[in-house]
Chain A
Amino acid sequence: MVEAAQIWQWLSEVPDPEIPVLSLVDLGVIRAVEVMDGMVRIKVTPTYSGCPATTFINLDIEAKLRSKGIEKLQIEPQIAPPWSTDWIKPEAHEKLREYGIAPPRPGQPYCPRCGAADTELLSQFGSTPCKSHYRCTACLEPFDAFKCL
């Protein structure tokens, strides 16, 4: 019989559809994994209510677990408590930076390229609902920053 720890391990191999350097576990959207009488129950929380990736996240979870031979699977949404950027794993912050996205922090983000603190907001909304668009005033490169939520 499959253990919950094994399911968590498999889910940590499923990339986020929009930011593939992060796994769904890194992102903090998997809220619970329960295994009972051979039935796997997974609770998933949406990041932003309007995020179009939510549907794909569920599909990707299902595809991964089916490929591992899980037959009885239930994926349930859980909205409370609401997702927060604080749930992004600390080790994932480094992955985001390397990918060119400033990880969430209260106040101005640091430039993910040169590390400067002198950055300015260009647009509150970036290429996906979770990001804002900034420019570094030191190296002049524009970049995406994760919105704090």
Chain B
Amino acid sequence: MFEFLLRMGDNTLVLGHRVSEWCGHSPVLEEDIALANIALDLIGQTRMWLGLAGEVEGQGRDADALAFRRDAWDFRNLLIVERPNRDYGHTLMRQFLFDLWHHERLADLCLSDDDRVAGIAAKCVKEADYHLERSKDLIIRLGDGTPESHARMQDALEAIWPYTGEMFENDALDQAMFEAGISPLPGSQKPRFDAALEDTLAKATLKRPENGFARKGGRKGVHSEDLGHLLASMQFLPRAYPDARW
């Protein structure tokens, strides 16, 4: 259960941090505000998932301790969320693919037999709903935009595509969560994800990559180098000044 909650909370924590890196750097003011707000939502959601994880673990660690005092190999997020921002097209494509998965995942967890999990999911799914609405809209606008924006979105899709396979992997932990009535198997989401993806990509005039290769490992703690760099900047302050208050 602890590990399952880390998988949920680490996704929103790492993506929330990545998205917040745009703060003050976005192409236009409205986008800057939108990304900062999405980052806040994701970090707020993290507080609930990791807060519950700490409670379940029972070792006295709270959400902050879990966020700031674990190393890369203890993180259980999907690799897609630690991908660097690169250009705006990459950032939006990563967000769209994540939102599409995240929204379905949360909708499934609303039906969890565990009231605490269902409660957090019901809170988060409302936010995931408008995140997805926004990222879908932008993917369509930019995919079906100028030749330049179209090419960049197709590039971003090709680059990020291999990181979607990991979302639908069922391992022993997923099986245990399924048997305990806590969560449906992640793989059961795949047909719904594919159908929704097909629909948006068609409107965006983008082509789904043929490549079926999937990069995996994040959910077991095997990460790319990028996560280490992200944690170095995210965790520096609380590690250099433990228990600092202001």
Contacts and interface: CB of A to CB of B under 8 A. Distances in A.
A95 to B, nearest CB: 24
Nearest to A83: B123
A139 interface: no
Interface in B26-56: 30, 33-34, 37-45, 47-48
Interface of A: 46, 48-52, 79-83, 122-127, 129, 133, 147, 149
Nearest to B32: A125
A147 B40 contact: no
Contacts of B41: 48-50, 129
A80 B134 contact: no
Contacts of B119: 79-82
Interface string B122-140: 1110110010011000000
A124 B34 contact: yes
Nearest to B34: A125
A48 B127 contact: yes
20 contacts: A48-B44, A49-B124, A52-B40, A79-B48, A80-B118, A81-B119, A82-B122, A82-B123, A82-B126, A122-B30, A124-B133, A124-B134, A125-B30, A125-B33, A126-B33, A129-B37, A129-B41, A133-B30, A149-B126, A149-B127
A49 B42 CA distance: 8
A63 B38 CA distance: 30
Contacts of B115: 80
A50 B118 contact: no
B95 to A, nearest CB: 13
Given A124-B34, A124-B133, 18 more contacts: A48-B44, A49-B41, A49-B44, A49-B47, A49-B123, A49-B124, A50-B42, A50-B43, A52-B40, A79-B48, A79-B123, A80-B115, A81-B122, A82-B126, A123-B30, A126-B33, A129-B40, A149-B127
Contacts of A52: 40
Sort A-B residue pairs by CB-CB distance and give the 9 closest, nearest first: A49-B44, A50-B40, A80-B119, A50-B44, A123-B30, A50-B41, A125-B34, A82-B123, A125-B37
B129 to A, nearest CB: 9
Nearest to B118: A80
Contacts of B120: 79
A82 B42 CA distance: 16
